[in-house]
Amino acid sequence: MKEKEPLKIDKDMIEELCEFSMLMPPEADDELVRDIEGLLNILSPLDSVSTAEAITECEEDTVMREDIALPYCEAESFLSSAPEHTDGYIRVPRTVE
C-alpha cells in the first residue's frame, strides 16, 4: 500500500476491529465505515511526517516505591462492586482456555 493513498475501510475491517475491541459488530455498518473514514481523514496529515530520527527527551530519574506490603481493604469491599460473585470469587461464564 502506498503511503500517500487515503486509507479505505470496509465492513470486514470494521468487524475485525470489533472483534479485537470486544464490541459487537454494528447494525448500521455503512454509517460506522463513514465515521471511521472521517476520523482517518483527520489523521491523514501524518502521512507527510518522516520519522528519521526519534527525538528523546532528557529524563528525570524514575521514582520508585519501597517494597512494603500494605493491606488495602477487605475482599468484601472489592466484591461489593462486582456484578456477580460467589464464595469470595468473581464469577463469569465458563471460560475456554
Partner 1 sequence: MEYTSMTLKELSQLIHKREISSLELTENYIKKIKEKDHELGAFITVSEESAIKTASWIDEDILSSSSEKLHPLVGIPVAIKDNLCTEGIKTTCASRLLQNFVPPYSAEAVMKLKKHGAVIIGKTNMDEFGMGSSCENSAFGITKNPLDTARVPGGSSGGSAAAVASGLVPYALGSDTGGSIRQPASYCGVVGMKPSYGRVSRYGLIAFASSLDTVGPITRDVISNAAVYDAIAGHDPKDSTSMRGCAETVVDKIENGSVKGMRIGIPFSLIESHTDKKIKNAVMSAINLFSGMGCKIIDIELPDPALTLAAYYAISSAEASSNLARYDGIRFGTRAEDCLSIDELYKKSRSIGFGDEVKRRILLGTFLLSREMSDRYYKKALFTREAIKQDFDKLFSACDVIITPVSPGLPYHIGKYKTEPSARYSEDIFTVYASLAGLPAISMPVCKDASTGLQIGIEIIGRFREELTVYQSAYALENEIKNSERRCENDI
Partner 2 sequence: MIYKGYEAVIGLEVHCELSTASKIFCSCSTAYGGEANSHTCPVCTGMPGALPTLNRKVVEYAITAGLALNCTVNKSSGHDRKNYFYPDLPKGYQISQYDIPLLYDGHLNITDEDGQLLNIGIERIHIEEDAGKLIHRDGETLIDFNRAGVPLIEIVSRPCMHTAEEVKSYLRKLRTILVSTGVSDCKMNEGSMRADINVSVREVGDTSFTTRTEIKNLNSINHAGRAVEYEFKRQVDTILAGGEIVRETRRYDENSGKTFSMRSKEGQRDYRFFADPDLPRLTVSDELICSLAATLPELPDAKIARYCSEYSLSQDDAELIAESPAASEYYNTAVTLTQNKKTLTNLFIGEILPKLGENEPIVSPSHLAEITDLLSAGEINNGTAKLLISRCTAEDGMSPAEIVTRDNLGMIRDKEKIRELLDTAVKELPKAVSDYKNGKKAAIKSIIGRAMAISKGRADPVILNDEAEKIL
Q: Which residues bind partner 1 (CB under 8 A)?
A: 3, 13-14, 17-18, 20-24, 26, 32, 35-36, 38-49, 51, 54-55, 57, 60, 63, 65, 73, 77-78, 80-84, 90, 92-96
Residue type, 95: T
Distance CA 8, CA 34 (A): 10
Distance CA 21, CA 8 (A): 19
Q: Which stretch binds partner 2 (CB under 8 A): 3-11, 28-36, 40-48, 88-96?
A: 88-96
Residue type, 72: Y
Dihedral (Cα; 65, 69, 75, 80), 10-degree rounding: -20
Taking CB under 8 A as the rule, does residue 48 contact partner 2? Answer: no
| Cβ(90)–Cβ(84) below 8 Å | yes
6 binds, among partner 2, partner 1, none (CB under 5 to 8 A by kind): none
Q: Min. distance of Cβ 17 from partner 2 in angstroms?
A: 11
Q: Which of 1, 4, 22, 28 binds partner 2 (CB under 8 A)?
A: 22
